[in-house]
């Protein structure tokens, strides 16, 4: 029979765990609202931008276009940009992104490609370090960032563009989580270099625009920004997903702790009763013996 | 009364405005121009400058640092890299932006970076009157 004292301590500790998870859930809920607002505020820009880009890109023939759009002709070295959270305790959020990246990396390596990895967010680095530590070419630390800004994204984009120009990789893909709802976030893989706008819906009617300066010049100017824009919206989606995942993970944890407390309390009461019954038996049998 | 058109100004982080405007003065890379309803469709990149929006209730001014503008049949949208309402533009903010541009100019040493910094200084003078 478990010791009463041990049980009591156990109940107390699970209770304080429940308090913590409950608090974390509420913090995540508040942060989620903010992250969602940020993601929604960023959406009009990304949508317009991609629509215009799709239109511009549609007019470019495949061999004369800028490298960022048509690629540099090679398909050998792939850079995987894995974007995860800086903190854990958010369910399968980080794990799912890392898993998707891991599968993609293995697939590319099986095809004989060279894989390089850039991690954004501490948890992704930790998850991939053991297996792909030697493939990592860098890490972006956002743990000091209080509020995600476009500057963070353009910093990452700048880094990518420099590496691309130096010929460090041929194809870049980002891995992040799209926010569907609080209970569902989908890990997503998206190619950003060379830019791929095939999934963007073409605008309602093909307007014939005048381009000022030339179409090519605009494209050359906008393509680097497109990289930054895509990274920025991925970061925002990721932010909302992280908080959503944490909220539901902590909600589950709180509920589990509650169930555990109930179970332990029943056990505690039973053992207490058993102890009392035992004592009574001892007293009665002692009295009978006299 | 002039025709109205839909005007949107968005930056990556938020939508700054979405109004019915009679005319919009846009600092295009190839020169300023004014877009009104029925303007021919144009896509142009922006230089740092002051964007003026004339609506029925008055004129709003914004500082934009770059991006592009799309004038279409349904309206005009400006997608600015960074955009500020005139009231939010302080001397410190301008200083920071110019300092940043100068750093970039020193680092990159290209005509583009130099022009960016010059345009920014000009825009700063214009918006602060």
In a domain, A279, yes or no: no
Residues B62 and B122 in one domain: no
Q: Torsion angle of alpha carbons B71, B73, B77, B79, nearest 10°?
A: -60
Residues B29 and B77 in one domain: yes
A60 touches chain B (CB under 8 A): no
Query: Is the predicted pLDDT of residue A142 greater than 90, yes or no?
Result: no
Residues B112 and B92 in one domain: yes
A106 touches chain B (CB under 8 A): no
Interface test with A, best of B32, B43, B69 (most A CBs within 10 A): B43
Mean pLDDT on A234-247? 92
pLDDT digits (tens, 9 = 90+) for A10-45: 999 999 999 999 999 999 999 999 999 998 888 889
CA A12 to the chain's CA centroid: 34
Residues B39 and B64 in one domain: yes
Nearest to A179 by CA among A225, A117, A236, A112: A236
> Shortest Cα distance from A119 to chain B (angstroms)?
23
Residues B18 and B78 in one domain: yes
Residues B65 and B113 in one domain: no
In a domain, A69, yes or no: yes
Mean pLDDT on B14-19? 89
Looking up residue B78, the CATH number of its domain turns out to be: 2.60.15.10
Give the pLDDT confidence score for residue B9 in this predicted structure.
93
The answer to whether A41 contacts B13, with C-beta atoms less than 8 Å apart, is yes
Provide the residue range defining the domain that includes B104.
87-128
A247 touches chain B (CB under 8 A): no
Query: Is the predicted pLDDT of residue A182 greater than 90, yes or no?
Result: no
Which chain B residues are Cβ-neighbours of A221 within 8 angstroms?
Answer: 45, 68
The answer to whether A44 contacts B8, with C-beta atoms less than 8 Å apart, is yes
Residue in B30, B41, B45 closest to A209 by CB? B41
Query: Is the predicted pLDDT of residue A59 greater than 80, yes or no?
Result: no
Residues of B with CB under 8 A from a CB of A: 8, 10-15, 28-30, 40-45, 67-68, 70, 72-73, 77, 79, 81-82
In a domain, A53, yes or no: yes
Q: pLDDT confidence of A58, banded at 50, 70, 90?
A: confident
Chain B residue with CA closest to A38: the answer is B13
Q: Counting one residue from A and one from B, how many pairs have CB atoms under 8 Å apart?
A: 76
| Of B85, B100, B117, the domain-final residue | B85
Query: Is the predicted pLDDT of residue A60 greater than 80, yes or no?
Result: no
In a domain, A13, yes or no: no
Q: Angle between the A215-289 and A4-58 helix axes, to the nearest 10 degrees? A: 170
Residues B119 and B103 in one domain: yes
Q: pLDDT confidence of A93, banded at 50, 70, 90?
A: very high
pLDDT digits (tens, 9 = 90+) for B41-76: 898 999 888 999 999 888 999 999 888 899 988 889
Looking up residue A101, the CATH number of its domain turns out to be: 3.40.1380.10
The mean of the pLDDT values for chain A is 88
Give the pLDDT confidence score for residue B75 in this predicted structure.
87
Give the pLDDT confidence score for residue A2 in this predicted structure.
63
Q: Which phi and psi (to 5°) does residue A200 adopt?
A: -80, 135
Residues B91 and B79 in one domain: no
Chain B residue with CA closest to A149: the answer is B13
Query: Is the predicted pLDDT of residue B85 greater than 60, yes or no?
Result: yes
In a domain, A6, yes or no: no
Domain total for chain A? 1
Q: Under 8 Å CB-to-CB from B38, ≥6 apart: which residues?
A: B3
Mean pLDDT on A202-223? 76
Give the pLDDT confidence score for residue A43 in this predicted structure.
87
Give the pLDDT confidence score for residue A203 in this predicted structure.
53
Which chain A residues are Cβ-neighbours of B42 within 8 angstroms?
Answer: 209-212
In a domain, A271, yes or no: no
Residues B14 and B48 in one domain: yes
Q: pLDDT confidence of A205, banded at 50, 70, 90?
A: low
Give the pLDDT confidence score for residue B90 in this predicted structure.
82
Kindly tell me the sign of the dihedral angle through the C-alpha atoms of B110, B122, B125, B28.
negative
How many Cβ atoms are within 10 Å of A106's Cβ, its own excluded? 13
Provide the residue range defining the domain that includes A212.
22-249
Interface test with A, best of B11, B12, B44, B108 (most A CBs within 10 A): B12
Domain total for chain B? 2
Residues B40 and B77 in one domain: yes
Give the pLDDT confidence score for residue A216 in this predicted structure.
81
Give the pLDDT confidence score for residue A252 in this predicted structure.
95
In a domain, A277, yes or no: no
Q: pLDDT confidence of A255, banded at 50, 70, 90?
A: very high
Q: What is the enclosing helix (H) or strand (E) of A80?
A: strand A77-83
Q: Under 8 Å CB-to-CB from A143, ≥6 apart: which residues?
A: A86, A122
Give the pLDDT confidence score for residue A82 in this predicted structure.
93
Query: Is the predicted pLDDT of residue A202 greater than 60, yes or no?
Result: no
Least confident of A90-94, A251-255, A262-266: A90-94
Chain B residue with CA closest to A228: the answer is B12
Residues B13 and B68 in one domain: yes
Q: pLDDT confidence of B1, banded at 50, 70, 90?
A: low
Alpha carbon separation from A270 to A5, B63, B102 (Å, rounded): 13, 73, 76
Chain A residue with CA closest to B76: the answer is A48
pLDDT digits (tens, 9 = 90+) for A152-180: 898 899 899 999 988 889 999 999 999 98
The answer to whether B79 contacts A208, with C-beta atoms less than 8 Å apart, is no
Give the pLDDT confidence score for residue A61 in this predicted structure.
61
Interface test with B, best of A209, A222, A223 (most B CBs within 10 A): A209
Instruction: Write the DSSP assignment of B67-104 as a string of letters.
Output: EEEEE-SSEEEEEESSEEEGGG--HHHHHHHHHHHHHH
In a domain, A256, yes or no: no
What share of chain A has pLDDT > 70, as a percent? Answer: 94
Contact between residue B15 and residue B32 where contact means Cβ atoms under 8 Å apart: no
Mean pLDDT on A207-232? 84
Query: Is the predicted pLDDT of residue B91 greater than 80, yes or no?
Result: yes
Give the pLDDT confidence score for residue A266 in this predicted structure.
96
SS3 at position A259:
helix
Residues B41 and B104 in one domain: no
> Shortest Cα distance from A149 to chain B (angstroms)?
7
> Shortest Cα distance from B13 to chain A (angstroms)?
5
Chain A residue with CA closest to B13: the answer is A42
Least confident of A132-136, A198-202, A218-222, B41-45: A198-202
Chain B residue with CA closest to A212: the answer is B44
Query: Is the predicted pLDDT of residue B92 greater than 80, yes or no?
Result: yes
């Amino acid at each position: 029979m478990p010791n009463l004292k041990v049980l009591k301590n156990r109940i107390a500790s699970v209770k304080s765990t429940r308090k913590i998870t409950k608090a974390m859930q509420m913090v995540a809920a508040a942060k989620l609202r903010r992250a969602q607002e940020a993601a929604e505020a960023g959406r009009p820009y990304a949508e317009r931008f991609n629509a215009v880009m799709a239109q511009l890109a549609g007019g470019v023939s495949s061999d004369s276009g800028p490298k960022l759009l048509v690629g540099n002709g090679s398909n050998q070295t792939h850079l995987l940009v894995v974007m995860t959270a800086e903190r854990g305790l958010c369910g399968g959020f980080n794990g799912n992104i890392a898993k998707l990246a891991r599968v993609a990396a293995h697939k590319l390596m099986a095809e004989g490609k060279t894989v390089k990895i850039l991690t954004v967010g501490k948890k992704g680095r930790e998850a991939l370090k053991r297996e792909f530590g030697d493939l990592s070419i860098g890490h972006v630390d956002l743990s000091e960032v209080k509020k995600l800004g476009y500057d963070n994204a353009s910093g990452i984009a700048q880094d990518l563009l420099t590496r691309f120009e130096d010929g460090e990789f041929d194809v870049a893909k980002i891995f992040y989580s799209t926010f569907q709802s609080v209970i569902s976030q989908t890990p997503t893989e998206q190619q950003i270099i060379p830019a791929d706008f095939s999934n963007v819906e073409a605008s309602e009617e093909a307007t014939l625009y005048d381009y000022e300066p030339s179409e090519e010049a605009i494209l050359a100017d906008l393509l680097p920004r497109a990289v930054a824009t895509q990274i920025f919206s991925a970061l925002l989606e990721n932010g909302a997903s992280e908080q959503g995942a944490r909220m539901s993970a902590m909600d589950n944890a709180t509920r589990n702790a509650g169930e555990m407390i109930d179970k332990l309390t029943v056990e505690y009461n039973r053992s207490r009763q058993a102890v009392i019954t035992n004592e009574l038996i001892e007293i009665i049998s002692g009295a009978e013996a006299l | 009364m002039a025709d109205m058109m839909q005007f949107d100004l968005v930056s990556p982080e938020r939508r700054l405005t979405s109004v019915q405007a009679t005319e919009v003065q846009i600092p295009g890379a190839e020169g300023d121009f004014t877009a009104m309803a029925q303007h021919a469709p144009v896509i142009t990149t922006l230089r740092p400058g002051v964007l003026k929006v004339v609506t029925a209730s008055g004129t709003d001014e914004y500082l934009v640092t770059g991006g592009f503008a799309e004038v279409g049949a349904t309206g005009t949208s400006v997608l600015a890299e960074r955009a500020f309402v005139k009231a939010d533009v302080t001397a410190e903010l301008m200083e920071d932006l110019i300092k940043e541009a100068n750093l970039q100019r020193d680092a990159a040493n290209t005509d583009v970076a130099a022009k960016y910094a010059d345009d920014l200084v000009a825009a700063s003078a214009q918006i602060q009157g």
